[in-house]
Amino acid sequence: MNMINPKTPTKKYLVTALAAIATLFLVYSCNKTKDFKAVTETDGVSSNLTTTTKPNIVFILGDDVGVDIPTCYGGQSYQTPNIDMMAQLGMKFTECHSSPLCSPSRVCIMTGKYNFRNYDEWGVLDPTQSTFGNLLKSAGYATFVGGKWQLDGGDAGIHGFGFDDYSLWNAIKDGVRIGSHYKDPQVYEKGVLLPKNKTEGKYGDDIFTDRLLSFIDKNKTTPFFAYFPITLCHDPFSPTPDDPEFASWISKGNPSDTSFFPSMVKYMDKKIGIIIDKLKAVGVYNNTIIIFVGDNGTPSEIYSWVNGKLVQGGKSQTNESGTNVPLTVLWPNGIAPGQVNTNLIDFTDFLPTLGDAAGITIPLAYGQTDGQSFYNQLIGGTYTPRDWIFNHYAPNTNKGNTILLRWVQDHTYKLYDSADVFFNIVKDPLEKKPIKPTRMSPYETLRKARFQAILDSLH
């Protein structure tokens, strides 16, 4: 397994011969960059890790799926064979960080901007903003979004943010009851809600996945971008169609039941596998970038075994359990398999990364963006990893959470603005014991000052 820029700067790594894959991986220290060009076998088709054709992009955003869930991250409570396969055949990132809740995270990931620039209200995206949908559409991509919208605007908003086609839940904030997104779902397509005779007894993510598969079929001869913010595994926790309880489950009456969470994770992973199988079936798998990332930590009601320890989900918490999310990227034509990337990734980084993949720069009309592309990290090009990441977190939820928290962190240290608390998040990931100023090493004192200067510059 190839390690990209590990945290220990001076450690040398041996070149490993991977069984059945004639690929040499050069391993570098975290202060060096990396260049490689390799050949890998995928489904019997030899693929040189460069391409002259714009890649298709399928971007899957899991809802409330923290880093404690996938098996490839040490999770022991769930079955995630397809996410694990993506990590095995592509690149797994260990230091991808979101906001602690979904709405701020989605605005950030779609626009490439820190929340203080464009986030004011829960469940709303300012219609003057531009998204990665707009960016990919301007590059000639056919675009689709399916699953959880939660950005308001309805049909006009969805098209205005760059999506040609859609099948969504929670598309209009005011005036329309949200309804279920699992059994008997409320589905919004072509500016209207689907009638009950098309949704009753059905499952939301089945409908969204089927529409995505149809989109892939329709656009298999042209570059396409499919954004799939699947509604799994958010509450209410309930049976999937693979559970015997599904047939008799009453979507409006049965209480949320955490015992179904493992089944929901398994069903989400199953949908990922179905999408990958479709890409293979229509002949576009090799040149499709497939991304899976969680939008924030796992719900606090959920306890999971991870590497032999029982951990509580950290959703809504600003510590590592609330913001560290799984990110796996698979691209047979572009990413050498079996890599673990320990560099920092911020949610603002996705928009410029997708722009680089499509060969387009971000237009000046998009205004100030904050992301740093990690595209070259994917393909083995020259890059400079992030030294820090930042979060401006003022969720303004429907339940009245308006508390503003701002922080800067790197792999080891984290500083909260205003509160002036400084943590070693390796030794203290749950942030229980701030480092006292009198006990800071000279390096820690310098690092804290550097973080405060960054915080002061971001307003």
DSSP category for residue 51: -
* Per-residue burial over 414-450, b = 16 or more CB atoms within 10 Å of its CB, e = otherwise: bbbbeeeebbebeeebebeebbeeeeeeeebeebbeb
The number of domains in the chain is: 2
What are the tens digits of pLDDT across the range 11-31?
A: 333 333 333 333 333 333 333
Question: Are residue 372 and residue 434 in the same domain, yes or no?
Answer: no
Question: Are residue 343 and residue 445 in the same domain, yes or no?
Answer: no
Strand boundaries in 337-416, DSSP class E: 339-346, 389-393, 405-409, 413-416
What pLDDT tens digit does each residue of the chain (459 aa) get?
555 654 433 333 333 333 333 333 333 333 333 332 332 333 333 333 444 589 999 999 999 999 999 999 999 999 999 999 999 999 999 999 999 999 999 999 999 999 999 999 999 999 999 999 999 999 999 999 999 999 999 999 999 999 999 999 999 988 677 899 999 999 999 999 999 999 999 999 999 999 999 999 999 999 999 999 999 999 999 999 999 999 999 998 899 999 999 999 999 999 999 999 999 999 999 999 999 999 999 999 999 999 999 999 999 999 999 999 999 999 999 999 999 999 999 999 999 999 999 999 999 999 999 999 999 999 999 999 999 999 999 999 987 788 999 999 999 999 999 899 999 999 999 999 999 999 999 999 999 999 999 999 999
Question: Are residue 88 and residue 153 in the same domain, yes or no?
Answer: yes
Question: Are residue 428 and residue 325 in the same domain, yes or no?
Answer: no
- Asked, for residue 400, whether it belongs to a domain, the answer is no
CATH number of the domain encompassing residue 77: 3.40.720.10
Question: Are residue 416 and residue 346 in the same domain, yes or no?
Answer: no
Question: Are residue 448 and residue 322 in the same domain, yes or no?
Answer: no
State the residue range of the domain holding 422: 405-457
Q: 10 Å Cβ neighbour count for 382?
A: 10
211 contacts 219 by C-beta, under 8 angstroms: no
